[in-house]
Structure 1
Amino acid sequence: MIKEACCLAKCLCVYKGFDFELDVQSSLPDLVIGDERRAFQVILHMVGYLLNIYDGGGNVIFRVFSESDSVGKTDRMLGMWKSNAPDEFVCIKFDMEIREGSSLSDGASSSTNSSGRRQNSAEAEGLGFIMCKKLVQMMQGNIWISLNPLGFAQSMTLVLRFQIRPSYGRAAFASGLSSEQPSSIPQFRGLRVILADDDALNRTITKKLLEKLGCEVTAVSSGFECLSALSSAENSFRLVVLDIQMPEMDGFEVATRIRKIRSRSRSWPLIIAVTSSAEDNVWERCLQMGMNGMIRKPVLLQGMADELQRVLQRAGEGL
């Protein structure tokens, strides 16, 4: 999970014009038990929250270490939360900081409240951070923001408790970032994929993950562009990855139109939905619209590989 989080954090930083530095304690346990999906979602929120405040040009430093070994234990903010984890648990601290050199974005620098008073970053945290904080507290952890002298977020810190699983070794993180990750699977190599997502950051992340698996990806920002590409005489896409929550024409409508266009052809493209919805009936609706699979956000590399493999095998694709 840490490897994927670092990979996507770097991807987002480069996209927004930031340099990215990674500092991971090499003695972290390589196997722990915890809520991987929720932890990953909170880390992505940390990245997005900080990057949206600044325009780029600075350094983003992502540190990961056990809380007991943290140099920052004297930090006044850490006094808000104390670890009482027994020996079979480890508290891991994720710290993300933006160094000097970054300029405030127009949206952040001009943020005001209803009375016309300028808001600082802590005042403008919004629902996203509040929900993240509640989620983290449910996981027996804590998350907080440290402000710069102007009152805008300079860093975010997340501390989570994980149960240690017995292991024969420790994580040699720096030398093995890409190990144990599904990459360039022969079944996916050369698979033509069209990806439709209106959110530029999400589109970049999903595209990078698909390419890491070996797919050849064309990314578009709307359902209309997706249909246009599929209607082309040169269309050779075998898989469509659709974000369900796109504006103007959502993923359900796009899937319905694709099935109508290709109804007389046996070479239907396979369709996989991507959604952040937690509703139980989403998958049923995807099936009704002729979709073949579904991936829930945040998109993880292993989860994507598993779903692609399941969909291809079920469709009898022999690539």
Structure 2
Amino acid sequence: MLSRLKNWLMLGARFDGTTTERRRWLFIIMLWLTVFYNFSFFFVNNPGYDPLIHFWGGVFYVCLFVALRLGLTYALSVNVGILMAIFLVDYVAIYTGGINSPAMVWTTVVVLPAILLLGRQSALFWLVGVLVSNGFVLLGTLGGYFNPNADISNSALLWALLTKLAVVATAMLIGYFSERMHHLQVTEIDRSNADLEVTHQALIRAQAHKDEFIASVGHELRTPMNAILGLNGILRTELSDRPEDTEVVDHIRRSTEQLLHVVNDILDFSQLQAGLLTLRHDDFAVADVVQAVMAVYRPKAQAKGLQLHADTRMVDTLWVKGDRQRVLQVLKNLVDNAVKFTMQGRIQVRVQPVGAGVLFEIEDTGIGIASGRQAQIFNRFEHADVQTNRQFGGTGLGLSICESLVKLQGGLIGVHSIQGQGARFWFQLPLRRVAAKEGQAALEVARTLASRTLKILLVDDNAVNLMVARLMLKKCFPKSDITEVASGAAALDRLRQKPFDVVLLDMVMPEMDGLDVVRTMRRDFADPVRQMPVLGLTASANPVDRDKCLEAGMNDVLNKPIDQQLLIDKLSALLVLTATGRAA
């Protein structure tokens, strides 16, 4: 019974719970403290006024507590309690000396609970209220309405002493409670920060696991696609005189390329989000990039009855330095969208030099984009509208990736569209111009290499990938002498037996991977093997893996599925460096 009464009175509560709960508990303590003070002054009275005011004051605060327990709002209870305290102080002061009354010392602490219980704005309001109250007592005293002479008789001394002791005790309690609440708040903040740090570390680990999972899935998907696309190209050559079979082969290739496109989008998006994607700096012809895109999408446009035209007259001789693969990727994505969302009419691609960069424009006569959606169209997972998503599908990552890639290269991208009348997408990149003859020299090198007998060591643990790479090398360099091995240890044995012009080395292999092989070549072998150019092969699109290959000693890296033109370009560049004595 006693325990239940104690809990109902909330005397057993502590500084637990939320800030609001602690404030409520502190208000309850102050209520009971005020009840104690009122009944104490009822018995230790001052002859100048009727002590019944303290009795009724105590009863009032008990009723206020009951009302709070029965549902009266906390804020209203606190404000009513402070107002009653000011009234009691003024009442006693009027009869015990006016502005000179010892009771006026209570005005220094009566507003302090407002700071702890309600906050700064309410405390400021009650400070003004106390000042008004003091002004009222002062004016009444100066006007002769209140007796200015405090009672200093022996009967009033105990009352005055108790008043001052109560004020000091109250001020100390409020200070203690204030410090205690501050300490608890700091402790809560520290605990929250610790929890946030734990959560942050968990999120970092989760992100790392996600990146590893995506990279692993990407590697496992790209590896067989390398075989499918490679063999598809070879099969198409073999069946070139059989149109029906060629059409089937083309369907296989288009489906595989579509899947590869989705996989690449997911990998690129993950790397862009993590800030891991890095740029290359290649010399390339702008017109060649545009024509490469046209070669891919012109058949698709013609199949839909669309006219796809590229105007490259202003950049026909323009060579620039930049990331050719990423420029090609952005242009492909935008042209792919134009072909996808255009049912009839034409698609125009225009390219022109602008200032210190190049401006690409892709204009179509397709379905267009509503003006209200154009600001969000570059957001991830966004489509023009729900109906468009249902009709045309897609991951919703293409335009988001385009925007991220353009910004990564320091460029700008935008769109202007009228719904139902088509759209014009554009992007501008700060591509530095280089001499055209440097690029033409690379083409001449490739032609020269095609007629040479190159000694190539091809290293890959996957038999299908070995076959695909060998057939592709034979197609690019018909006179090449290709040696195939399926492990890192076997590659080192062959390097001890005979010299090669270049090594194509897979990064991931069991027992001894490509990184260990190239480190051993650079560390333990003598020239010319130590300086032999090494082209890494990997199905990983993670730039971290590319950096690992370069740090280990590889001269360059080629991603799977292998692009035939990139293979020619990279091998040509490496062999030119070797010929001039600059291979690393």
TM-score range, shorter chain: 0.3 to 0.5
Structure with the largest fraction of helix: 2
Larger radius of gyration: 2
Greater RCO (Cα-Cα under 8 Å, separation 6 or more)? 1
Structure with the largest fraction of strand: 1
TM superposition score normalised by structure 2: 0.27
TM superposition score normalised by structure 1: 0.47
